[in-house]
Chains A and B, each alone.
Chain A
Amino acid sequence: MNNNIKADKGKRPLAFFSAGCDSAAHALRRSVLVALWFMFLTFPIMVIKVDTVNKTIDWRWMNLLWIGIGSFVLSFVWRWLLERKELQKDQVSTEGPVERLLTSASSIPAAKWSLLAIVGIAALVFPHLAGMYQTNIMISCLTYVALGLGLNIVVGLAGLLDLGYVAFYAVGAYAYALMNMHFQIGFWTMLPLGAVLGAICGILLGFPVLRLRGDYLAIVTLGFGEIIRLVLENWGEVTMGPSGISGIDRPMLFGHKFGVFDSITFMYYIMLGLMILTIFFVNRLQNSRIGRAWLALREDEIACQAMGIDRTKTKLMAFALGATWAGMAGVVFAAKTTFINPASFTFWESAIILSVVVIGGMGSVRGVILGALVLILLPEYLRAFSEFRMLIFGATMVLVMVFRPQGLIRAKRKVYTYMGRKTAGAEHG
């Protein structure tokens, strides 16, 4: 019964304007009120800028106007989105436009393979077509894909909100920097060691904290992350304090040293390889016995235990594996920048990685990749917006949670076949 009314509403002309209201006039009134409220709310901070030393005041009245107009328009969008969300709640499953495109592309084998081939070739030739600057940005984007996929194991699959993920990244980076400085240990030796070190740290940290409930776990991991950063900052004798460590060796290829330019290209390929490896691993993991146990743990911890799954062991595995990727990415980061300091490992780095996962789509590999591409590349190319980057991240996290909790691309479950036929994993998240 409700559905019909809602469906009618959806088709009505001016539906956008009167969404969530009785009539367009009502909507207008509400929007004016919202605009006035936000003008009031933002008045001191947006309009007035005081200089208490020189006793001068800068009045920026134009800002008030923009806020008024902006919140007036956005209030319509807000109500429309809320109504749309309500409508979609009743439908069994809805696919976004991006998802639909991907689904239809991957349902035709030819399209799927040619799409993959195009992306693959583009990725391979990228550093030769684009300049050094672009390649550098791409490397950092790929790093975020790897980090995002690692965190995705912990947050997206196992449902453990880890706000101190960057600590493992720092461990990898500092391990390489210090080993390189003191013992001249090379990149290739350190890459697997970084992974192992990350895993060990993950287990060490995970052991005490994993019996905590979801939100407490989040805060404890945040605390651990900050402790690690503060130690890096204050333990000057070992970590060189806030000034950091410089002159870290770039990776070599069979003893061959690259120049600055070539080494960036080389770094790009290393990162590309690492990312492909990560995608491969995460894909395999999430459709395995272990991956299913993670999902079950995320969905219902009590039922999960009652089905014979060891909670602690399963959580520890997720934590350790997630940390493994952060450890490796840390080594790569140190090798790429040749300079690291504690400022690269603040809570905000964790927050960015988390937004990659959340906005992309928790538990979905394609989502995380898309999330990293969008979140890292967009601000780089929209230079004018780069100041607003964190502002937009924050707002997007809120909006995604409110309107599209599943993220850009929702995780899809694998379709299994039986009766002696081979397993066909059609859809990977």
Chain B
Amino acid sequence: MVSPVLNVQDICMDFGGIRALDEVNLDVKAGEIVALIGPNGAGKTTFFNCITGIYKPTSGDVVVGRSGDSPRRINGIKPNLVTEIGMARTFQNIRLFPSMTALENVMIGTHCRTKSGIWGAISHNRKARVEEQEIIERSYHLLELVHLEEYANELACNLPYGKQRRLEIARAMATDPFLLLLDEPAAGMNPHETIELKELVLGIRDVYGISILLIEHDMKMVMSMSDRIFVLDYGRLISHGTPQEVSGDPAVIKAYLGEGDDDV
């Protein structure tokens, strides 16, 4: 049995009087691709925000750990520390750094794995130069991974939508994570781009051994690539299991097709 890299127990999140997440349990094991699905407004993005430190969950436990390391409870720690521990994410509404180049966007991702400070910057000493060159090389390789190397010196805001989504993945990869959280990575992509994306995600898991948790609405993609699926509706976990189990679950069908259809 592989140990989980992410283990979320009974997490709740309240906004004022509204409960956006209600006792959600979710775990991701090393090397797994797990999907989190559910209708719009179900609380999927809120779940990401809670486990990455952008929101502080009202209650519950979020425990993470690189496989092999001892797991660590990370409720309420700052987002940058979450990333440093090794959980990196993308955003549903793309949040690149628009007036920086594609390469620089990726270089930012390496920030928490590099060290040179003010003195290194000013003196441009050997250590800083070597590190800087390593950052450039590594970032360039990541751009190649997502097939964006020819746009390296293009400003991020000038890239088309689908490429921006891939750039966000490369940027998250640059933080050297063991778990990658993707929030609707295929949104706004055409079928061809979606297939490419699927291959990219599978490649990341297979080549780099990074576990993946993704939110996605494209059912074909989700069903074909996930090891397990969790389904959220109105902040509650209504089903989880393998794609076959979930797709046969009446509760899931009901949530997707609307209420009141008892005979479905």
Contact = CB atoms under 8 A, between A and B. Distances in A.
Q: In the complex, is A directly touching B at CB under 8 Å?
A: yes
Given A284-B122, A295-B97, A416-B103, A308 B112 contact: yes
A194 B98 CA distance: 37
Given A289-B116, A308-B111, A303 B84 contact: no
A416 B152 contact: yes
Contacts of A417: 136
Most central of B78, B96, B122, B136 by chain A CB within 10 Å: B122
A321 interface: yes
Given A307-B108, A308-B80, A289 B122 contact: no
A419 to B, nearest CB: 7
A292 B100 CA distance: 9
Interface string A284-312: 11001111110110011011111111110
Nearest to B111: A309
Interface in A204-240: none
Interface string B125-162: 00010011101110010000000000011010010000
B132 A288 contact: yes
B95 A300 contact: yes
Contacts of B164: none
B75 interface: no
**Most A-side CB within 10 Å, residue of B100, B107, B108:** B108
B118 interface: yes
Interface in B57-82: 78-80
A62 B83 CA distance: 67
B117 A290 contact: yes
Contacts of B172: 307
Name B's interface SS: helix
Interface in A383-429: 411, 413-420, 423
Contacts of B254: none
Interface residues of A, number: 36
A304 B108 CA distance: 8
Contacts of A420: 137
A323 B88 CA distance: 34
A221 B194 CA distance: 48
A419 B101 CA distance: 18
A413 B155 contact: yes
Contacts of B84: 308
Contact of A292 (B79, B83, B108, B152): B108
Contact of B112 (A290, A309, A311, A321): A309
Contacts of A293: 108, 111
Contacts of B152: 416, 418
The 9 closest A-B pairs by CB, nearest first: A308-B112, A288-B121, A308-B83, A303-B95, A299-B97, A418-B140, A305-B79, A296-B108, A305-B80
11 contacts: A290-B117, A292-B100, A292-B108, A295-B100, A299-B98, A303-B95, A307-B112, A308-B112, A311-B80, A413-B104, A415-B153
Interface of B: 52, 54, 78-80, 83-84, 88-89, 91, 95-101, 103-104, 107-109, 111-114, 116-118, 120-122, 124, 128, 131-133, 135-137, 140, 152-153, 155, 158, 171-172, 174-175
